[in-house]
Structure 1
Amino acid sequence: MQYINKTIDGIDGSKAELTVYSIDNSEEMNPQRRRPTVLVIPGGGYVFTSEREAEPIALKVLAAGYNAAILRYSCAPSVYPTALLEAAEAMKLLRSNAEAWHIKPDAIIVAGFSAGGHLAGNLATTAGDETMRAHGYDPDEVRPNGLMLGYAVTTSGKYAHRDSFDKLLGADRKNDPALLEEVSIDKHIDAKTPPTFIWHTVPDELVPVEGAEMTFAACVHAGTDVEAHFFPTGHHGLSLANADVAGAGDPTGVDEGVQQWLPLFINWLKRNFGDPAARA
């Protein structure tokens, strides 16, 4: 196993961290294997990046035979587009080091949770294309090949998680209509949006499920390959919904029904990007 840490400089002097877990190849098995890779983007309302939605997710991805990476991006007081450009740079690093890190460069999936889902969607859809071009990135070169949205912040409209957008845009710009339109992911789903996996709990008390429904409908309308799962129980931010990630003594953090999102996601990965256990 290779364990790689890369620092990404933000445009405002902040620093993000990309952590890559790359499964070693073996002369005994398949020395040339390149694996699909999942870039995990944890949430935290653009205030922090949650550890509950970082390494625990990456380890499950690794156990299924995929490479994993985690992006701990810059949060408030950093504002848009700092985190987006860090995500673009993370994708550039993964693809430019594909041979050394045993990555299949055309099979990189971003998996974002809560506000991290917003960042993942910002990168995967055309929402941030003009902004990325203005900062020297070709959006198509850094666009991921798949998108997973776990109880994600997507819409900036009626069903927005307003605190996330306030922190993302900052006090001076949080009510700017044009900017809010630019960062509303559901408004920018089109033919370039990669295959998408969505999951959300219906009772989510922080990020309304209606946003996920709108995103799903936008994918259907655009002809995007999309799979969605809406669970009838569970509060916001459950991550794996098991005892490992639940807060100490918090029984509401364990939900066996919601735990099913992970095997459903792994099956989706296999269907869309191949089984890493299969020989190339």
Structure 2
Amino acid sequence: MQKETIELSFDYDKAGIRDIGDRAALDCYYHTLTEEIGRKKHRAMIICPGGGYDFCSEREAEPVAFRFIGYGICCFVLRYTCQRAFPQNALECAAAIKYVRENAEKFDIDPDKIIVAGFSAGGHLAATVANLWNDEILTKPLGCNAEDIKVNASMLCYPVITSDPEFTHEGSILNLMRGREDDKELREYLAMEKHVGGQTPRTFLWHCSDDGCVRVQNSLLYMTELAKYWIPFESHIYERGGHGLSLCDESTATWEGHIQPICEAWTDAAVKWALRI
């Protein structure tokens, strides 16, 4: 396995971003190319950790990459900037997709099999680029065509989806609305279930029905819209487990509640789903 980290950037002026803050980084984990094995054109997965758009959780970053790369999926962990107004982190995710696709030969990946995965607030970020990849709000600042940042599939793990105050994770939405907290139009725009359409890729979702942090309605609302537009999806709703489980085992647990053997099955299901793309 090879690992390298690159800094991501784009035309901040075109995006109307003045206070840039730290630059996003992309940790690239990819297979060593050997003469014996040869090229495989692996699938690629860009991982967006959660953290309420306050921080990027380490529990949902490298450990997830290590789990999936063992199944032949090249993984790219996006360390997106946090506590920054929309669309800065969405542009960073789109820039990551563009970089991975442009370097498909180097990473030995199939440029038409790029998955964007996200946990909690990172799930909102993944859903954002999955639905807005063909929108000028992303393509114009990046100076690219929509096909350059197209999402081929999305994997949403206990995701923040809606901005409806009844069901959303309010902290995540407010972090995206920094400086525009009273902008009702922006709040509605940040509801990803309202952007689902023909451009939305096939999707894998999982959630726990007793999640008290990001209510399961987030996934249910999204699934309803996917079904409405006949977008293929696979979903797993577990009876209990709460929030922020990551891999659901000791490798990512910080307390015993993070160890949920039943929910742990999501990784096997996700791998089988990803290998069908």
* TM-score, normalized by the shorter chain, greater than 0.5: yes
Cα separation, 2, equivalents of 1:27 and 1:154: 44
SS at 2:8 equivalent: strand
Which residue, out of 221, 244, 256, partners 1:214?
Answer: 221
Which residue, out of 212, 232, 240, partners 2:247?
Answer: 240
1:3 is the counterpart of 2:11:
no
Cα separation, 1, equivalents of 2:180 and 2:145: 26
Cα separation, 2, equivalents of 1:127 and 1:151: 22
SS at 2:39 equivalent: coil
2:128 is aligned to 122
2:265 is aligned to 260
Task: Note the C-alpha offset of 1:127.
Answer: 7.8
Which residue, out of 249, 271, 276, partners 2:276?
Answer: 271
1:72 is the counterpart of 2:79:
yes
Cα pair 1:127 1:184 within 8 Å, conserved: no
Say which is worse superposed, 9-18 or 126-135, in terms of deviation: 126-135
Unaligned runs of 5+ in 1: 273-280
SS at 1:9 equivalent: coil
1:180 is aligned to 187
Cα pair 2:133 2:139 within 8 Å, conserved: no
Cα separation, 2, equivalents of 1:211 and 1:22: 32
Cα pair 1:128 1:183 within 8 Å, conserved: no
1:27 is the counterpart of 2:56:
no
Code of the residue aligned with 1:6 in structure 2: it is I
Shift of the 119–79 alpha-carbon distance from structure 1 to 2, 3 Å rule, reads same
Cα separation, 1, equivalents of 2:204 and 2:71: 17
* Percentage of pairs with the same residue: 35
Task: Note the C-alpha offset of 1:156.
Answer: 0.6
1:46 is the counterpart of 2:53:
yes
Cα pair 1:126 1:189 within 8 Å, conserved: no
Task: Note the C-alpha offset of 1:143.
Answer: 2.1
Code of the residue aligned with 1:119 in structure 2: it is L
Cα separation, 2, equivalents of 1:265 and 1:72: 22
Cα separation, 2, equivalents of 1:4 and 1:28: 23
TM-score (normalised: structure 2): 0.93
Cα separation, 2, equivalents of 1:150 and 1:128: 23
Shift of the 204–147 alpha-carbon distance from structure 1 to 2, 3 Å rule, reads same
2:15 is aligned to none
Code of the residue aligned with 2:33 in structure 1: it is N
Shift of the 155–127 alpha-carbon distance from structure 1 to 2, 3 Å rule, reads farther
Cα pair 1:128 1:182 within 8 Å, conserved: no
Shift of the 155–210 alpha-carbon distance from structure 1 to 2, 3 Å rule, reads same
2:115 is aligned to 109
Structure 1 stretches of 4+ moved >2 Å: 136-141
Unaligned runs of 5+ in 2: 13-19
SS at 1:149 equivalent: strand
SS at 1:116 equivalent: helix
